[in-house]
Structure 1
């Protein structure tokens, strides 16, 4: 169920008022610690999320004071991330789709899709040498690739598709080079960046031009329940950025050009049902393709 930011703030208000840390954060000058995973150049594809989080924190200095970001230099499995954010010591802020392991952790969810539906549009990175040459009428004709324990795995399995799994993101490209599968479907928010970045090491890497895999996959920010003041800050910051237009500006800055080149609305769509969300209405509605800013 979707909720407005105002509703989120109303729900979080009692938690904030009950938190001694939150009450005292400005009065004592305590610096709020924000912890999420960031492996530097290995996570460059998450640049939009990192910039959005910083904008959220900057926009709420007056209410919550200073902050420090303490990045975690690893990317644990989703189950491990769920445990760590529930503890709130190593990780206290993550992004994930509702119903997934992270979202089921001991977290406060801010139900605003920070990717505005974009993560549900999946485009294939392929090795042309072994990609089927004839018409693709079913995903059963393709061997897909996915990362180990990616939340998307449950979506594919729920629809009778069994991807090959790679132990790391980087290993998936070695596997594609070895022709161990046909298609690495990545979200429209990151597939172009990944293609440009990885093509240097893997010259064969190609964007498949005709197919689109779609499933409902909103991406929310989740905060450890042990840091309710941070959840209040994130909700307020998102509200401010939406109201002043900065949220949309950042989104378009990172995604508009790349998404336009993908021509999502001209592709053949394979719609999958997500086990993480209510089944009613899935794959029954007309797709709402991303609305891009008009060219000047």
Structure 2
């Protein structure tokens, strides 16, 4: 493996017009909604770790303006404002952009728990089968891959144009539940100033196989190799897993996925090259899966 890593490093050196020792990589990612939005903390920490593992000089900065995911992906495709974005993958995104196929959250983006209102909570206690859950309307963003996944599995999805609007739709009971990934939900409950009636449902979850990747512009092959080299080195020396568990171990304990009814959904958007067979890249928090 050492020879392979060395070979990749040589390729990177050859790709730098100014030379690896003098060049400084300027890497810009999408700025979050505000300083209280903590969802960027782990991806930025992992990006920093990967860059440190390569030994290159770099500047890692947020974009000048706030950029929601759909806008960030469009800007990345056009090679404007940002040059790296992290996002859940699907076939279209992998056609438009260049993915680094290492799931940065080890697949946890596909594990979903539910934000609901107290008024509707009793309906969820009666759910024992997937068909019961299909009678309820989940809330999702118009451009999110999750929306198509849920629709393909038979859900009548209530779509919203913006992330923030999903919370107001939930609070007004126009939709029944807002599925959130296990790596997002607690931070959102702390930072989104949720209406008092919005709570976390305690007994159910969804799972669909998917990954969140770092993406770069299709023309930026050298940066893709750089980031993959750093991530691979972090996996090999254990620092990737150390950061992952430091970030999410307590969250996973609190959510107790092993005690929930977990309904498995198919993901028709999952690209064929998703590295599902590489077990070191994934975390499996529960075996209590229901079809």
TM over 0.5: yes
Query: What is the rounded CA distance, in whole Å, between the counterparts of 1:6 and 1:46 in structure 2?
Result: 34
Pick closer, same or farther for the CA change 1:25–1:74 going to 2, 3 Å: farther
Instruction: Tell me which residue corresponds to 2:119.
Output: 129
* Matched-pair contact (CA < 8 Å) for 2:13–2:20: no
Report how many aligned residue pairs link the two structures.
Answer: 272
Following the alignment from structure 1 to structure 2, what is the Cα–Cα distance between the partners of residues 224 and 13?
22
CA contact (8 A) 1:5 1:112 kept: no
**TM-score (structure 1 length as normaliser):** 0.81
2:8, 2:252 → 1: CA distance?
35
Unaligned runs of 5+ in 1: 280-286, 292-296
Helix, strand or coil at the partner of 2:94: coil
1:46 matched to 2:40? The reply is yes
Distance across 2 between alignment mates of 1:178 and 1:8: 53
Separation in structure 1 between the aligned mates of residue 141 and residue 228 of structure 2, nearest angstrom? 30
For the 8 Å contact 1:85–1:105, the answer to whether it is kept is no
Specify the alignment match of 1:283 in structure 2.
none
Judging by fraction of residues, say which structure has more strand: 2
Cα 1:70–1:178 change in 2 (3 A) is closer
1:177 to partner: Cα distance: 1.4
Map of 2:227 onto structure 1:
234
SS of alignment partner, residue 71 of structure 1: strand
What's 2:134 paired with?
A: 140
The change in CA–CA distance for 1:220 and 1:170 in structure 2 (over 3 A counts) is same
Conservation of the 8 A alpha-carbon contact between 2:121 and 2:201: no
Residue of structure 1 aligned with 2:197, choices 195, 204, 227: 204
Alignment of 1:236-275 (within 5 A): 236-275=229-268
Shift of 1:100: 4.4
Structure 2's unaligned 5+ residue stretches are: 273-281, 287-291
Corresponding residue of 2:165: 171
- C-alpha change, 1:9 and 1:116, in structure 2 (3 Å) is farther
1:66 corresponding residue in structure 2: 58
Equivalent of 1:190 in 162, 184, 191 = 184
Deviations 1:185-217 (A, max 9, x none): 01111112212333x542222110111111001
Does the 8 A contact of 2:30 with 2:72 survive in 1? no
Distance apart, 1:139 and its partner CA: 2.1
Distance 1:7 1:135 in 2: 54
SS of equivalent residue, structure 2 residue 241: helix
Write out aligned runs for 1:6-85 (5 A). 16=12, 19=15, 22-27=16-21, 29-39=22-32, 40-41=34-35, 43-60=37-54, 62=55, 64-76=56-68, 78=70, 80-85=71-76
Q: For the residues of structure 2 that align with 1:103 and 1:8, how far apart are their CA atoms?
A: 24
Q: SS state of the match for residue 24, structure 1?
A: coil
Q: Assess if the C-alpha contact under 8 Å between 1:121 and 1:188 holds in 2.
A: yes
Residue deviations 1:114-153, cap 9 Å, x none?
Answer: 1112111100011011334351132222111112311111
Worse-superposed segment, 157-166 or 128-137: 128-137
2:85 counterpart of 1:97: no
Normalising to structure 2: TM-score of the pair?
A: 0.82
Q: 1:8 to 1:213 in 2, by over 3 A?
A: farther
Relative to structure 1, is the Cα distance of residues 271 and 231 closer, same or farther in structure 2, using a 3 angstrom cutoff?
same
Question: Does structure 1 conserve the Cα–Cα contact (< 8 Å) formed by 2:8 and 2:229?
Answer: no
Aligned twin of 1:224: 217
- Please give the secondary structure, in 2, of the residue aligned with 1:56: helix
1:294 — aligned with what? none
1:290 aligns to 2:280 (yes or no): no
